[in-house]
Chains A and B, each alone.
Chain A
Amino acid sequence: MRVPATFWLGKRLVVVAFLGVLLVSGWVLGPRIVQLSAGADPFAEMGRFFGAALSPSLADENPSLPPDARPFLLRLGESLLRTFRYALIAISLAVPAGLALGFLASSAWWPGGMRYGKASVGRTAIRSGLRLLRWACRFLITLGRSIHELVWALFFLSALGDAPIAACVALALPFAGTLGKVFSELIDEQSQEPRSTLMATGASPLQAFLNALLPSAVPEMLTYTVYRFECALRSSAVLGFIGVETVGLGIRQSYESLYYGEVWTQLYALVIVVVGVDTLGARLRGRLNRGATRKSVPELSKLELGRSEALLRRTAPRDWVVRGGLLAGIMLVVISWTNGRELGMDMPADQRDARIGRFLTKLTPAPARPENSTASGPERMEALEGKGGEIKDWAVDLWSRNGAEALLNTVAIATSAIVLAGLGAALLLPVGSRALARGEPFGVLGSASRWVHWWWCGVGFLTRSLFILARAVPEYVYAFLLVGLLGPSAWPLVFALALHNLGILGRLWGEVMENQRPEVPRHWIQSGAGRVQSYCGSLAPLSFNRFLLFFFYRWETCIREATILGMLGISSLGYYVSIAHNWLRYDEMLFYVLLGVAVVFAGDILSDWMRRKLRGEIACS
């Protein structure tokens, strides 16, 4: 029987296409992985670095510090607290903004009441206006997300000086965008039945939304917010690399001065905090999804109405862990806003205007700059007029010299990183799965030996821990260290991104696999297949669409990260952003940032399209 041509279409094509993309990117980036020259001794430095992993310093290594300086561990503790604090403030800003944007950008919110017959003209006009508002919100969301928090921070810190609030707002903006996007998707994915039932019995659209749609989405929204806080922690640490006083600053300074022991201490501390928050968050999320369980059913028969109702109310199942956790979270937010170094929000208005004015001047392209750095709006417009051609020339010059190549490199880095991560995760997944990696996969009687069982449990545990650790370290830190060790080329960035995303894909894909119905793979194993065969033949195909969903989601994120990682010294967009920033040429910096925005926008659209297609397929299957 001949294999029909359509056999090769669809998913197989996708997999082959991605491997092809990896090869192409490899060619684009250049084959030399280790950019070191003859006579170099890279392993000496690497050996020294990894050797220090076993003996992290507990005191300052810097000999030129005066003897009464504050001790290293104390400074480390303070910087961790600051990291935590800035992350909390940023999340507390991002969540309300994300809620507002999410509601306005979701399509479930707008279709309005249950129309009876033709809509009136007025109503149609309102509806079109609202649709415009929805598109505007989606645009804002993507814009916020497409500029990395490091870049926002570079801009804000330059415009407003060292105020911590600048760094927090820089963190909050992309997070508000992500929260808004996820919230709107969660709202759209909810079942519409309760909402339409309420509207069928007379509720207004707003009431139906608040009483039926929103409550069903709230647990998942809370869950996601907790997850986002963990991400905010990591991003807050990374902000240190551009000078905000969080953990990243210490890591960078210690590394540059070659105090590797200090670097490892700070790395360990960061990982412990991140993994700790992750674990707590996971517990909280589990309980949110489960809901409280009732402990005992009260005896009602003998009581009269009012008392029995009150008794029921008192014994109603309530989850104190969740309530306590949420209350603790709110209290922590209040504490971070009111304690510690002043956030810098009360700058005198004229000073702030002068700063912003100076910054705006530096942002305008060089040919069109007004003479006075604190020029007013109309004066700036005047300076811009008639300079269109010169601005175009300036932009074309930047593009042809650096922009095009940097763009290509950025996309190549991101794509090869995510493909590598995907390959790694796909290979490691069966070994990390709770259902497969045990003595009795899927509950089917396996080898009787206890050693086999322990072996598989151990392997599974190690793999899952590898995923957790790989995720816990921010990509920027990996890249920073790898560039230092392997030399400045694109491949350390690729590996850094790939390693971090390996952990993320491992976890996301692992969850997909564990949520699959176990009947089919169990059947395979009962029929005599091995674990790997069961995985390849049943679990993987079942989950493939969902795998791809997460794959594209991470690809988008990789593009954003790849534009930044170039700041570590190689030709992706971030490299030129940081050079321009160093030379205080903010207009050029803005140009490269906007290029990055364009790439992320394009990647977003492509990824969105793929994911909608995949969701449609999943829904149909």
Chain B
Amino acid sequence: METMFELSETHKSFGAVHALSSINLQIAKGERVALIGASGSGKTTLLRLLGAQLAPDRGEVRVLSCNPLGLGEGKLRELRSRLGYLPQDLGIVPNLRVLQNVAAGRCGRRSVLGSLRDLILPAVGVRRRIYELLERVGIEEKMYDRVDTLSGGQQQRVAVARALFQEPAVLLADEPVSAVDPARARDVLELLTRLSAEEGLTLVVSMHQLDLAREFFPRLVGLKHGKVHFDGASSELGSEALSALFQLGDKVADS
């Protein structure tokens, strides 16, 4: 099976703070992985390393079988355009319409003028494709509405649609269910897992709700203080190991 991500002995620090130490990780195509850990354990940093947004201080990172360090500007952008990213704050532009936000997902593959065209006057084909996409996430009737008139859950779907519009090989989501109530959290995770199954996407999601993680993700990677505490199928892991992740009183590293 194709390896999507490969990290060997990766370290990353921000100044005096060690965000990640000695990470060894491999993720194959089609896998659904949940990164769990307390806040400050390095989940976001790890995701950003996977997304080729940060370079490690030591060790090697291979994304989609390339080492991003050796790539030139254009190739790096091409690599990134194959990685879908859902940040915690969603990163959507509130005063633009849903259509325009989703269309921005394809910037990586378009020229400057092309992406401007998509912003101001998208072609019919583009509009239809986005409509289909929005149907799949369930908010097609909001296509021409301003994003700031939507509810939080709907805005999240916009971000998902934008990521999908990229036609990525991987979907990386940073704490998509941290600030939502349990019912909505299930909706989001169902959506993500369904889409990843339909498209054959590799899905890496960071979260701190253990029960949801166990329910939706076959593989769990636990992080504590920037180190991999365990890595394995969620059915194999016992509850003591899991709760050791969240023990209070331990020092927490800034992430």
A residues whose Cβ falls under 8 Å from a Cβ of B:
113-114, 116-117, 191, 193-194, 196-204, 206-208, 210-212, 215-216, 218-219, 291-294, 297-298, 300, 305-306, 308-309, 312-313, 315-317
15 CB contacts below 8 A, A to B, read: A116-B52, A116-B76, A194-B92, A196-B87, A201-B83, A201-B166, A202-B79, A202-B107, A204-B77, A212-B93, A297-B141, A300-B140, A309-B143, A312-B143, A317-B144
Q: Which 9 A-B pairs have the closest CB atoms?
A: A202-B108, A202-B81, A197-B91, A316-B144, A203-B107, A117-B55, A202-B80, A193-B91, A309-B131
Q: Are B141 and A207 in contact (CB under 8 A)?
A: no
Interface residues of B in 128-144 (CB under 8 A from A): 128, 131-132, 140-141, 143-144
Q: Which residue of B lies closest to A300 (CB)?
A: B141
Chain A proximity of B191: nearest CB distance (Å): 19
Whether the pair B68, A194 counts as a contact (CB closer than 8 A) is no
CB closest residue in chain A, given B148: A291
Q: A191 to B80: give the CA distance in the assembly, Å.
A: 22
- Please judge, given known A-B contacts A202-B108, A203-B77, whether A305 and B93 are in contact too, CB under 8 Å: no
Closest residue on chain B to residue A291 by CB atoms: B146
Shortest Cβ distance from A109 into chain B, in angstroms?
14
- Inside 8 A of A194's CB, which chain B residues have their CB? 91-93
Interface contact B140-A113, CB-CB below 8 Å: no
B149 touching A291, Cβ below 8 Å: yes
Given A207-B115, A212-B93, A312-B140, 10 more contacts at CB 8 Å?
A: A114-B53, A203-B107, A211-B119, A212-B91, A215-B95, A291-B146, A293-B149, A305-B131, A308-B140, A312-B131
B45 → A minimal CB distance (Å): 14
Is B190 close to A, CB under 8 A?
A: no
- Tell me whether B81 and A312 are in contact (CB under 8 A): no
Stretch at the interface among B34-42, B96-104, B202-210, B228-236: B96-104
> B128 to chain A: which residues have CB within 8 Å?
305-306, 309
Cβ of B94 under 8 Å from chain A? yes
Check A201/B108 contact, CB under 8 A, given A211-B115, A291-B146, A300-B141: yes
Smallest distance from the beta carbon of A115 to chain B beta carbons, Å? 8
The reply to whether B80 and A200 contact each other, CB–CB distance below 8 Å, is yes
Whole-angstrom CA separation of A5 from B236 in the bound complex: 62
Residues of A within 8 A of B53 (CB): 114, 116, 200
**Minimum Cβ distance to chain A for residue B91 (Å):** 3
B163 at the interface (CB under 8 A from A): yes
Q: How far is the CB of A388 from chain B (nearest CB, A)?
A: 50
Within 8 A of A (CB), among B176-191: none
Contact A196 B91 (CB under 8 A): yes
CB pair B109 A202 closer than 8 Å: yes
Cα–Cα distance between A305 and B89 once the two chains are bound (Å): 31
Q: Closest CB-CB distance, B120 to chain A, in whole Å?
A: 10
B52-64 vs A: 1/0 string, CB under 8 Å?
1111000000000
**Most A CB within 10 A of own CB, among B84, B93, B148:** B93
Alpha-carbon gap, A212 to B127, bound state (A): 19
User: Do B94 and A201 have beta carbons less than 8 Å apart?
Assistant: no
User: In the complex, what residue of chain B is closest to A288 when comparing beta carbons?
Assistant: B95
Residues of A within 8 A of B81 (CB): 201-202
CA distance A190 to B114 in the complex (A): 24
B242 to chain A, nearest CB (A): 30
Residues of B whose CB lies within 8 Å of any CB of A are: 48, 51-55, 68-69, 71, 73, 76-85, 87, 89-97, 100, 104-105, 107-110, 112, 115-116, 119, 127-128, 131-132, 140-141, 143-146, 148-149, 163, 166, 168
Query: With A201-B81, A215-B119, A317-B145 given, is the CB distance from A305 to B132 under 8 Å?
Result: yes
| CB–CB A216/B83 < 8 A | no
Given contacts A206-B112, A211-B115, A300-B140, contact A197 B87 (CB under 8 A): yes
Provide the bound-state CA to CA distance between A210 and B107, in Å.
10
A198 contacts B104, C-beta separation under 8 Å: yes
Contacts of A297 in B (CB 8 A): 141
Are A113 and B149 also in contact (CB < 8 A) when A208-B107, A305-B132, A312-B144 are? no
Q: Distance (Å) between the CB of A239 and the closest chain B CB?
A: 36
Q: How far is the CB of B63 from chain A (nearest CB, A)?
A: 11
Q: In the complex the two chains form, what is the Cα distance from A207 to B78 in whole Å? A: 14
CA distance A8 to B166 in the complex (A): 57
- Please tell me if the beta carbons of B84 and A202 are within 8 angstroms of each other in the complex: no
Chain A positions within 8 Å of B76 at CB level: 116
A212 to B107, CA, bound (A): 11
Report the separation of the CA atoms of residues A502 and B48 in the bound assembly, to the nearest whole angstrom: 51
Instruction: List B contacts of A308 (CB < 8 A).
Output: 131, 140
Q: Is the CB of B141 within 8 A of A202?
A: no
Chain A residue nearest to B97 (CB atoms) is A316
Given A113-B73, A305-B128, A312-B144, A201 contacting B55 (CB threshold 8 A): no
Q: Closest Cβ of chain A: how far from B226's Cβ, in Å?
A: 20
B84 and A201 contacting across the interface, CB-CB below 8 Å: yes
Complex Cα gap A318–B148 (Å):
15
Quick one: closest A residue to B131, CB to CB? A309
Residues of A within 8 A of B95 (CB): 215-216, 218-219, 291
Q: Most B CB atoms within 10 A — which of A196, A197, A313? A: A197
Partner of B127, one of A208, A298, A309: A309
